[in-house]
Structure 1
Amino acid sequence: MRPGGRGGSLWLVLGLTIALLFLHELGWLQPLEAILTVPLTPIQRLVADLGRRAVEGIEFLREVRDLQGEVQRLRAQVEALETENLRLQELAAENAELKGLLGLVRENPQRTFVAARVIGYETDPYLRALILDVGTRQGVREGMPVVTRGAVLVGRIAAAEHTRSRVRLLTDAGSMVGALLQGTRAMGVVVGRPDGFLLLDLVAPEEAIVPDDVVLTSGVGGQIPRALVIGRVAQVLPVSEPFRQALVRPAVDPRRLTAVLVLTGFPGMETPETP
């Protein structure tokens, strides 16, 4: 290449560029530009369409990400609301139970009660018991009856410590309570069974036992008041000399209780012996 050749080419390109710009401004290149633009139009449209779709794709991915975040937020909100709803249901059930106990206290002003919360449940082949959060400090003594709303008998205090006590449930095999049939007025005793039912026993053979009859406490013995609800006759057993028997379904499932009342005093009550 001769010296000065590169510099000459640059000047030539610069000159052509200036000339083309000048001709473009004068409008003399429009026919040529139109001819050159026609083949490029489909390509331009394709490039524009691809660009638009790329932008739309990016926007779609952004929207999907935002929707996923919104779904997660709503799911967490639903779970929180479900948890709150369960808590409110439990509070409503507990409130209804406490209202029932309060109503029992108001309906029996001649009796004295100690309110207690159930803090444990014990069960094995030989013992069925509730653990309460009250004891001798609150005036609870062995032998005192424990009731729930509806004047239902749950059991009796089997042992009392300073701040807690154990309730022997009616279904415990060692439990025995004097009973009275509301309909026929027949009397007997109710003893616990390991299958969760109660056995009505020692009913005189001439007395009638009717299925679904309400079984109440008889008040015999002076340590449990009369007319507390025990349950209902579920099945009359075949006559067995010298007494009649029946299976009794308890009026309450003690495992569902959260609060009870210890009956510490009532008219005619014999004070349980303190060990």
Structure 2
Amino acid sequence: MVSIHTRQLLAGLVLPVMVFLAVGIVLAGQIWPGKAIQLRMAAVRSVGPTYQALLFPQRQFRKWQLTLQGVGDLLASNARLRQENRQLAYWYGEAQTLRQENARLKAALHWGTEDSRDYVSGWVVRDESGPYLRAVLLEVGDHKVQQGSLAVDAVGLVGRVSEVGPHVVRVLLIEDAASRIPVTLQSSGGDAMMIGDNTPYPRLMYYNQSLPPEEGEHIVTRGQTGLTGGVAVGRVHYLTPGQPVVIPDAALGKLELIRVFDGDFMLEAPPSAGRVREKPPLLPDHRDGEAPSNWQNLRRFLPFASLRNG
């Protein structure tokens, strides 16, 4: 055992010895520089692997820290991109809705010239009840509409105003059994009466027998007092010999926006390229050479009847 006095003596000699040793190393390095460099390089070579092993946990922790920071940045960027994607999807839907509405409004504005502005536009509310079988309600706001005015969609005649109320009017469609529209045949030049029969294809009656309607010719409304002339109506088709009907240009099955024209001025129709609709060929109700049955003749006059062709 080392006595206390001895330990105190050794503790007091440590600092002077370390200082003397340091001064001796510095002097030896100055006296023998080559030897000092060799000793220093040997020490570095021997201590280097140990130093690298001691630094490995610190370096690995730094890599993990950078990786976690990158993952956090990616998550934040992903969340921001998802939010922007939702906003873009919302605005894309809004743009598509506005584009479709703009297309419908532009199509409706194809009617008439710039000077003929006496019209009212409104959105359709379907009306399956009331005094007529085939009619729609039209929202017109505070605008005044006269009874009997013609109503058109983007391509052709829809019907006539049958009832006028506050903010709404009822439009009687041309296919209703109560509908009577005077028309002019553009190719043959004759006049006729288009009469609805609760079928998709109104009949042509009271035409000049010497100038019968031609297959496929277009017809327009006949201008007269209280009725706007020149409005596109549809094309002529023969279900059977001597039985001409009208294939309407207007899309009566999906009405949305309707314009009502007041007055008895002549109205210029839109171009035929955007007006004439492609229709499937109609087939007669009976074979050629066979007379129609009594039931086929009777059901044309029933208010709830419906012809099925094709």
Distance 1:19 1:58, change over 3 A: farther
Matched, 1:70 2:80: yes
**Structure-2 residue corresponding to 1:153:** 157
In 1, the alpha carbon distance for the partners of 2:183 and 2:18 equals 120
**Structure-2 residue corresponding to 1:238:** 240
What amino acid is the match of 1:122? D
Q: Describe how 1:202-241 pairs up with structure 2 within 5 A.
A: 202-203=206-207, 206-219=210-223, 222-233=225-236, 235-239=237-241
Distance 1:139 1:47, change over 3 A: closer
Structure richer in strand, relative to its length: 1
In 2, the alpha carbon distance for the partners of 1:48 and 1:227 equals 90
2:120–2:140 CA contact under 8 A, matched in 1: no
> What's the Cα RMSD here?
4.3
In 2, the alpha carbon distance for the partners of 1:205 and 1:176 equals 19
Alignment TM-score, normalising by the size of structure 2: 0.61
1:170–1:191 CA contact under 8 A, matched in 2: yes
**Structure-1 residue corresponding to 2:168:** 164
Distance 1:246 1:147, change over 3 A: closer
Q: Percent identity?
A: 15
**More displaced, 55-64 or 31-40?**
31-40
**Structure-2 residue corresponding to 1:192:** 196
Matched, 1:60 2:65: no
Alignment TM-score, normalising by the size of structure 1: 0.67
Distance 1:167 1:14, change over 3 A: farther
In 1, the alpha carbon distance for the partners of 2:80 and 2:137 equals 48
In 1, the alpha carbon distance for the partners of 2:92 and 2:14 equals 78
Match of 1:129 among 136, 157, 176: 136
Distance 1:176 1:38, change over 3 A: same
Indicate the SS of the match to 1:140. Answer: coil
What amino acid is the match of 1:130? L
**More displaced, 16-25 or 251-260?**
16-25
**More displaced, 176-185 or 113-122?**
113-122
**Structure-2 residue corresponding to 1:116:** 121
Match of 1:86 among 90, 96, 99: 96
In 1, the alpha carbon distance for the partners of 2:150 and 2:19 equals 112
In 2, the alpha carbon distance for the partners of 1:81 and 1:130 equals 32
Indicate the SS of the match to 1:62. Answer: helix
Larger radius of gyration: 2
Unaligned runs of 5+ in 1: 268-275
Indicate the SS of the match to 1:47. Answer: helix
1:145–1:156 CA contact under 8 A, matched in 2: yes
In 1, the alpha carbon distance for the partners of 2:220 and 2:135 equals 21
Unaligned runs of 5+ in 2: 29-38, 266-310
1:180–1:217 CA contact under 8 A, matched in 2: yes
2:108–2:257 CA contact under 8 A, matched in 1: no
What amino acid is the match of 2:145? V
Corresponding pairs, count: 251
Distance 1:56 1:259, change over 3 A: same
- Following superposition, the deviation at residue 82 of structure 1 comes to 0.8
What amino acid is the match of 1:244? Q
